[in-house]
Amino acid sequence: MFTPCTLCHSTNAEIIRDTLRYDIKRKVLRCNDCTFVYLETPDATNQDYYTSKTYRETYGPNLKKKGSEPKEIYDTYFPFQGVIIDALKDILRPDMNVLDVGCSTGQFLSALKGKVAGRIGMELSEADVAFIRENLDFKVYSEPIEDAVIPEGPFDMVSALQVVEHVPDPVSFVQHLGKHLKPDGYLYLELPNIHDSMLDAYHIKGYENFYYREPHLSYFSEKTLGDLLAKAGFVGKIKTVQRYTFTNHLHWLLTGNPQDNFTLGNQEPILVTTDTVSPPVKQELNDFIRRVNREYIDLIEKHGMGESLTFLGKKAV
């Protein structure tokens, strides 16, 4: 019998894969009742996995080596926080206080500096917590959200970026996020989309082998994320977002492999980097690929195939 579905508890499931990134043998199941996709035995990846160095020694933004130090993670992701700030521009206010759960090396809270009044982080990785305490100017708690007492709350916004897919019980986790929110506060989530174009449209074998991974226990769609939020008592807007570029997708399509690092896949594409042609020609060629990239990203998002899902909403009344 299969591990029950994390969302609807049905045991009526099918196996869609039996191998994860790094050739780890573990089954990926899809619930036949609610379509939720999840790893067999999600409890096997518990919070000690994140507290210890195991996670950071295995996964990181630089794919040429295994693992990353906190400073490298911070320096890689900080320059790309602007798109998240931009997505939140209508709700951010200077008098807000924000809790970011699973804050990693604090890159998002750093980017919020000067835009909100209060910033608090929560992170299980001991190395990331030590990095924040040494280098950044906000307070970080190191216990799981289920145990945390946070006198600075309740908050005007609670965020969890690329976190929900890691927790064994997403419904309970999101409910715990809600406990730290003011009645009218905002919940903001980002997580991978299982209807990512690389899986649904292109079916790139190398990407499938890369996509499913031990720390990701859940694989949400717009539909199953909606189910989760309804169960946890939230209403709001779910969107799909594409941040990896057109040229990153071309790279995957032509080689079957990822680019070497996160930055290459996310920075605005460029065709001509040398000065062997005149500046106007260089500019015209580079403007062309930027235009194509923007149009491509719009198309992917329009069809719900962005690599991430975002949710912005509030507690249901």
Q: Which residues bind Zn ion (CB under 5 A)?
A: 5, 7-8, 10, 31, 33-34, 36
219: region left, alpha or beta (phi > 0 left; psi from -120 to 50 alpha): beta
Count how many Cα atoms sit within 13 Å of the Cα of residue 126 in the half-sphere of its side chain.
8
Residue with tokens 């997403």: 170
Closer CB to Zn ion, residue 8 or residue 264? Answer: 8
Helices 126-135/70-77 angle, 10° precision: 70
Contact by Cβ (8 Å): 295, 171? no
What is the Cα–Cα distance from 184 to 80, expressed in whole angstroms? 28
Least distance to Zn ion, CB of residue 32, Å? 8
Closer CB to Zn ion, residue 17 or residue 303? Answer: 17
Closer CB to Zn ion, residue 5 or residue 189? Answer: 5
Least distance to Zn ion, CB of residue 28, Å? 14
Least distance to Zn ion, CB of residue 50, Å? 25
Least distance to Zn ion, CB of residue 2, Å? 11
Contact by Cβ (8 Å): 241, 188? no
Token representation of residue 193:
């989309």
Least distance to Zn ion, CB of residue 230, Å? 13
- Which amino acid belongs to residue 230? A
Least distance to Zn ion, CB of residue 5, Å? 3
Closer CB to Zn ion, residue 15 or residue 117? Answer: 15
Using omega within 30 degrees of 0 as the cis cutoff, is the peptide bond preceding 144 cis?
A: no
Q: What is the DSSP letter of 2?
A: P
Closer CB to Zn ion, residue 31 or residue 158? Answer: 31
Closer CB to Zn ion, residue 13 or residue 109? Answer: 13
Closer CB to Zn ion, residue 31 or residue 198? Answer: 31
Least distance to Zn ion, CB of residue 225, Å? 13
Q: Which distant-in-sequence residues (6+ apart) come within 8 Å of 54 by Cβ?
A: none
Please give the C-alpha separations between residue 108 and each of 76, 119, 141, 160, 197, in angstroms, as whole numbers.
Answer: 12, 10, 15, 10, 26
Q: What is the DSSP letter of 203?
A: -
Closer CB to Zn ion, residue 34 or residue 271? Answer: 34
What is the Cα–Cα distance from 265 to 247, expressed in whole angstroms? 8
Closer CB to Zn ion, residue 38 or residue 210? Answer: 38
What is the Cα–Cα distance from 239 to 190, expressed in whole angstroms? 10
Q: Is 87 exposed, middle or buried (0-12, 13-18, 19+ CB in 10 A)?
A: middle
Token representation of residue 254:
């032509």
Least distance to Zn ion, CB of residue 287, Å? 47
Least distance to Zn ion, CB of residue 8, Å? 3
